[in-house]
Structure 1
Amino acid sequence: MLALDYEDAGGDPENARPGGHDFFFFFISGEEPDEEPEPPKKRHSRSASPKAPVAPSSPPDSAPLTPFGQSGPVKAVERPQRAAQTPQTPSGASPLIMDAVQRLSRVHKRTGRASDKSIEQFTGIAALFVEITGVDDVRAVRQHHIAAFVDAMDRLPPTYRRSAAERDKPIAAIIAEAEATGAETGLSAATVNRNLIQLGKVFKGAQSEGIRVDPSVNPSLLRRFEKKNAKDDRDPFTPDDVKRIFAAPVWTGAKSAKRRRDPGEIVVKDWLYWVPLIAAYTGARREEICGLETADIDEEDGVPVIIVRPNARRGLKNAQSQRRIPIHSHLIDLGFLDYVREQRMKDRTNLFHDLNRKSPKSQIGDSTAYLWRNIQNDMLGPQAKKSFHSFRHYAVQGLRAESDVEKHVRAELFGHLVGDIEDDRYGGRAPITALRAAVEALPRVF
C-alpha cells in the first residue's frame, strides 16, 4: 500500500498561491488481495436541500468533533448539504470536497484510469466522509476528522445501506441502531484502508490545483494492518476438489437445461459450463471471465488466446491485469472455439450473453454466485473458505509446483507483479510459446 506524503508547508489557506490545474493520481502498488471489490455504496446527492442548509465549514483547528469521534450514544444528525455559495480560492477551483471529487473523476474517466463503477465508489467514499464529519470544505479538514471517519467505520455494520430500509437513513442512526441491537459492526481492514487511500487522492488532487490543504492531514497514518495472513483469506481447491466439481451433472449430463444439478443426459454448453472450466485452466478472476467479449478471443502466432483487457462490460483490477492467456487444449477439444464462433455468427458482442448484472451497482459475476455455491456444496459439502476464487489459488499453486515454469511467466499469466523492479519495469513480455507451455502444465480436470 502506498503511504501518501503531504507538503510540509503551513500558512493561512486564504493566502495560498495560485496553482496549476494539473491532476496527480496515486495508485496502490505491490501485492493486492485478489478478491473482487465490494459493490460501491449509494451515492449521496450534493444538491441543496430546504431542510437544513449548511454553510461552508470554517477552517480553524478548533472545529468541533462530531458525535462519531466520541464514545457513548450517537445522536442522529442531518446529512451535510452543499453550501449555497461556493467558497472562492485564489486558484478559482472550488474547495468543496464533492466538487474536487467530481473534477478528479472527470479526468480519471477521460484518461481511462477508472471505470464508471470505481468512480461511483470513489464518489460514495467522499460523500460518506462529508456525512460523517460534517466537513465539506477540503481546507477545513484536520487529522481529527480523519480519526472520526475511521471511528465511524469501526462502528458501522458491514452491510450498512444494503437494504431498501437503510438507503436513505442517516449514518448516525444506522450506527445507533446497530449498537442498540448488538449487531455485528466494523468494516474490514481492507475496506477501511481502501477508503483512506481514496480520501488521500482527494486531498492531493486539491493540492495540485493550488488549494491549500492542512499539511498535517495524513489518512495513511490511520491505515489498518490485518493480523491474519493474506494467504488465509481463501483456501485453494485441491486437485481432488476440482475432479469432484467437474463430475457434477453440469459437465457429465443433467436432467434438463433448467435442472442442471440433477443427473441426466443433457449437456448444455453455456456460461455455466464454460466459466468454471476457464477458471480452472487460466486462474483468471471471476469478473475477468464473466465480462469477456467475443472480440477478446483471438490468436497470436497461431496460438488461440484469451485477451484480458478493459472492455465495455467491465474494467480490470489494475494495470498488470491486462494480459493474454493461451487457451488450454482441453478447452479447445471440448469445443470452446466453436462456441465463440457461434456467438459471433449471432452478432453477439458479449461472450456470455446470458450473464448480466443484477443491478447497476453489482458485478456481472454476481449473477453466477447462487447457482455456483449450490453446485460447489453439492460436490464438496459446505466449505466457508472455498469459493469460486479458489480456482485462482488452485491454478497458481499448480504452476508453482512446476519447476519448469519460471516466476515471471507465472506472474504474466495471472496478472501479478513479479516483485522485482528489473522484471516488472524492464522485463519484456514472455513469448507466447512459454505461456502456452505453462498453461498446458495444468492437468486436465476430467
Structure 2
Amino acid sequence: MASIQNVTRKQGTYYFRKLIRLGPDKPFRLRMSLKTTSRKRAALLAPAMTLICERVAMNVMAKMGSDGLTAEERAEIYRRQMLIERDRLVIMHASLHIEPPDDHDDIRKALSLRLGAFETAANDSLTYGKIDDFLIGRMDADDNDDPIVIMAWSDLAESMGLDSADEAGAARLADLGLDKSALREAMARRVVNQARIEAAREFQGNLDNPGSAYAPVQVAQYAQSLPQSSSPGFAPQAPPAGPYATMTPTEAVEKFIAHNPRTGGKDGTSRMKNGKAWTKKTRNQFVLPARLLEEVIGGRPLATLTHDDLVTLDSCFEKLHGPSWGKSPRHAEMTIWEIIDETEAKVVAGEKAAAKAASNHENLTKHIKRADLGLGISTTKRHWGFLRQLTTWFSKHQPLAELDYGAFIMDDGRNRRKLRSPYTVEQGMEIFSLPPWTGSKSYARRMQLGDLVVHDAWYFVPLIAWYSGMRRDEICGLAVDDVQLNDEHWHFEVRPTDTRRLKTISSERKVPVANELVRLGLTQYVEALRAAGETLMFPELAAESGKGTMGDAYYKRIWIKLIKELPFLGNGQGIHSFRHTAIDFMKGAGITPEIRADFAGHSLAGETEGRYSKDHLDLLREAVATIPEITKQTPAVPINLLPGRLRAPRKAKTQKKVP
C-alpha cells in the first residue's frame, strides 16, 4: 500500500509531519495529529495541510524580508546607540561631581548603584522584551554603620535622562529612515539593550583603567616635535595620531596580512615561489578572533585594548557551544553576543525539558547542556595565539597596554594516549563485515545489503587506514601517482600536493603497501583509475569549487553513515583511531621507536639522506606486517569503478531563494 506524503501512523492514529524551512535558518519540524484513524480521510487532509504550511512559510519569509532589519542596519543602530550611551554615562558621572546625590554620601557608591541598575535593566529588557519598574538596593557588607539604600529604577532612569528601549529603538529607526513595523521595533529594541549592556561594561573598564578610554599618547614623539623656543601666546599642540591609532582589530588584521608575505599577502599569492603561503583556511582562522574581539570591545580602536577586554573575550568563549558554534550560516551574520544569547536560550530550554523528561520520556539529545559550554582547549589556544601574534606586530607601530596572554593559553593536560582509543581485532572485523565490503544494494544505498561491490572511497579509505596508519587527509588526498612500485614492492608516497597539505615537514614519507591491500585489488584499482583518465585516487571526494578538504568530504559523506552501524564505538574512537591501532600493534610486536616514528610521520633526531634506503624500506615492511590481517575472509572481486558521473567532483549546494 502506497504511503501518504507527510503522514505517519502511530497506534492507529494518523499524524501530519513536515519539515519547514525559513531561508537559511535551521528548519523546524511540525508534527500534529489529524485526529482520525481513517486512511481515506488522512489522504484528503494531508495535501491541504501541506499547502497551508507552504503558504504560511512564504508569508513569514516575505514578512521577515520586508519588516525585519539587515545585519548592516543592526550594526549601524548598535554603533549610534553606543555613542549615545557613552556620552550619557560620562555626563551622569560628571553630574555626580557637580551636584552630589541625595541617596549617597560616597560618589563611588552612587556610581556603582547606577551602573549596576543600568546594566540590570538592559539585561532584563533584552531577555523579556520589556521591563516593569523595580527596586534596586545597595548594602556594604563590610560597614555595619553604612545604611542600606533602596531606590526605584524609574527614579534613577529619570535622573540619568534615560529613555525607554522602545523609544530609543524607534528613534534609531527614524535616524536610518526606516519605516516602523512590529518586527523592526523589536529588533531595534534588542540592539539598543545590547549597546547599553556593553556601554556599562566598557565604562566600568575605563574606571578601572582610565587610560583605556583614549588612544596611547606618544610622549617621546610629542617631546621631539616641540619647538626649541616659543613666542608668547604660542601653545604647542600634540602631533596628530598616526594611522594605526584608529585601526579596529579587523583593519589591523588586513594591514598585517598585506604586510606579511608569509600570509600570502593581500591577494593570497605572495611568497608562493619561495615557500608555502598560508592557506585560505589559516587566513580565515586568523581573522576570526580579531573579529570577535572587535565585537566584544564595541568597535573601539585596537590601540585602546586592555587586559580587561581579553578577560571579557575569554568569558565569551566559555559561553559558546563549541560543536555548534559557527556551523550555521546564520552565525556569519550574528554578533558573538547574539550567538551567546541564542545558546543560553537553548540551554534553558534543555534544562526545562530535562525537568519533565521523567514523565514524558522526551529525547534530550537535541538540547545543549550547560556543562557542554565552552570552546575546546585547542580552539581557544589557536585564537589566543593568533591574537598575540597580531598585537605583538601591532605594538611595533602603536603602543599598547600590557597584555598577559599567558593567563588564557593553557596546555592540554589530558593524557594524549587516552584521547584516541584504538580498535580491537574483533571491532576491525566487524567494521569490514559491513555492506561496502561484502555487497551493497546500489550505488546510492551502500549501507543496505546486496551483491554490488564498488571500489571507491567507501571501500578503500578504511582499509588503507587500518593497514597503513596514515592520517585521514593523507589517505583521501592521495593521487594515482602516489602509489608507486619500487624493487617489486609497492609503497605510498606521502607528499604535499595541490590537493593536500601535510601536517608537518616530517609527515613526508614512504609507507609500504600491505600485502592484504594488494590482494584486495588496490594496485589494480590504481591502474583502472589511470586508464579512465583520473589523477586522484578518490576523485568523488573532490569539490568543483576547490573549497574544503577531501578528508572533510569523506567524513561528512561516508564516515558518519558508517558509524551508525557501529554500536561499539566509544569516546575517542573515530577515523584517527585506525592510526593508533596500527602503531599499538607495532609497539606490541617490538618494533623500535625510530621505525614506528618514521612509519607514522613523526619527527626523528639525526635523520640522514639514506632514510629511505632499500634496507630501511625493508624494516618498514616488517613493521607493516605486524598489523593483523583481519580481512582474510573478505573475497577479492574484480575491480568495479564508480560510473564516470559519480566520480565527477561534487558541485556546491545552491540555496533556494523564496520569492
Compute the displacement of 1:278 (Å).
0.6
Q: Give, in whole Å, the separation in 2 of the partners of 1:156 and 1:282.
A: 37
State the secondary structure of the residue aligned to 1:305: strand
Which residue, out of 118, 121, 139, partners 2:282? 118
Compute the displacement of 1:407 (Å).
0.8
Partner of 1:176: 341
State the secondary structure of the residue aligned to 1:267: coil
1:129 aligns with 2:293: yes
Cα pair distance change 1:363/1:395, threshold 3 Å: same
Greater CA deviation, 116-125 or 282-291? 116-125
Alignment of 1:304-383 (within 5 A): 304-357=490-543, 362-369=548-555, 371-381=558-568, 383=570
1:392 aligns with 2:557: no
CA contact (8 A) 1:377 1:383 kept: no
Compute the displacement of 1:413 (Å).
1.6
CA contact (8 A) 2:469 2:600 kept: yes
Provide Cα deviations, 1:65-93, integer angstroms capped at 9, x if missing partner.
xx9xx9994853599xxxxx994369xxx
Which residue, out of 219, 240, 254, partners 2:440? 254
Partner of 1:442: 627
Compute the displacement of 1:219 (Å).
1.9
Question: Aligned letter for 1:144?
Answer: D
Q: Give, in whole Å, the separation in 2 of the partners of 1:77 and 1:106.
A: 38
Compute the displacement of 1:393 (Å).
1.5
Which residue, out of 245, 262, 266, partners 1:107? 262
1:164 aligns with 2:309: no
Which residue, out of 391, 404, 408, partners 1:203? 391
Compute the displacement of 1:427 (Å).
9.2
Aligned length, in residue pairs:
373
Q: Give, in whole Å, the separation in 1 of the partners of 2:577 and 2:412.
A: 21
Cα pair distance change 1:401/1:197, threshold 3 Å: same
Question: Aligned letter for 1:440?
Answer: A
Cα pair distance change 1:102/1:77, threshold 3 Å: farther
Partner of 1:13: none
Which residue, out of 611, 618, 640, partners 1:429? 611
1:230 aligns with 2:395: no
Question: Aligned letter for 2:416?
Answer: A
Compute the displacement of 1:440 (Å).
2.2
1:296 aligns with 2:296: no
Cα pair distance change 1:274/1:190, threshold 3 Å: same
Cα pair distance change 1:231/1:134, threshold 3 Å: farther
Cα pair distance change 1:382/1:126, threshold 3 Å: same
Cα pair distance change 1:321/1:127, threshold 3 Å: farther
CA contact (8 A) 1:248 1:261 kept: yes
Provide Cα deviations, 1:347-390, integer angstroms capped at 9, x if missing partner.
22222011135987644223333533333442544534322221
Compute the displacement of 1:213 (Å).
5.0
Partner of 1:40: none
Compute the displacement of 1:259 (Å).
3.0
Q: Give, in whole Å, the separation in 1 of the partners of 2:250 and 2:344.
A: 35
Q: Give, in whole Å, the separation in 2 of the partners of 1:245 and 1:238.
A: 11
Partner of 2:307: 143
Cα pair distance change 1:180/1:264, threshold 3 Å: closer
Q: Give, in whole Å, the separation in 1 of the partners of 2:195 and 2:620.
A: 57
Provide the aligned C-alpha RMSD in A: 3.7
Which structure features the higher share of helix residues? Answer: 2
Compute the displacement of 1:291 (Å).
1.6
Between the aligned residues of both structures, percent identity stands at 26
Compute the displacement of 1:318 (Å).
2.6
Partner of 2:129: none
Q: Give, in whole Å, the separation in 1 of the partners of 2:410 and 2:327.
A: 24
Partner of 1:11: none
Compute the displacement of 1:170 (Å).
1.4
Gaps of 5+ in 2: 1-70, 84-115, 127-192, 199-239, 265-270, 348-367, 632-659
Compute the displacement of 1:237 (Å).
0.9
TM-score (norm 1): 0.72
Select the structure with the greater relative contact order (CA < 8 A; seq sep ≥ 6). Answer: 1
Provide Cα deviations, 1:119-160, integer angstroms capped at 9, x if missing partner.
222222322222223466554333222222211111122222
TM-score (norm 2): 0.50
Compute the displacement of 1:227 (Å).
5.2
CA contact (8 A) 1:300 1:432 kept: no
Question: Quick check: which has more Rg, 1 or 2?
Answer: 2
Q: Give, in whole Å, the separation in 2 of the partners of 1:368 and 1:318.
A: 22
Compute the displacement of 1:274 (Å).
0.6
Partner of 2:470: 284
Compute the displacement of 1:50 (Å).
6.6
Partner of 2:16: none
1:98 aligns with 2:253: yes
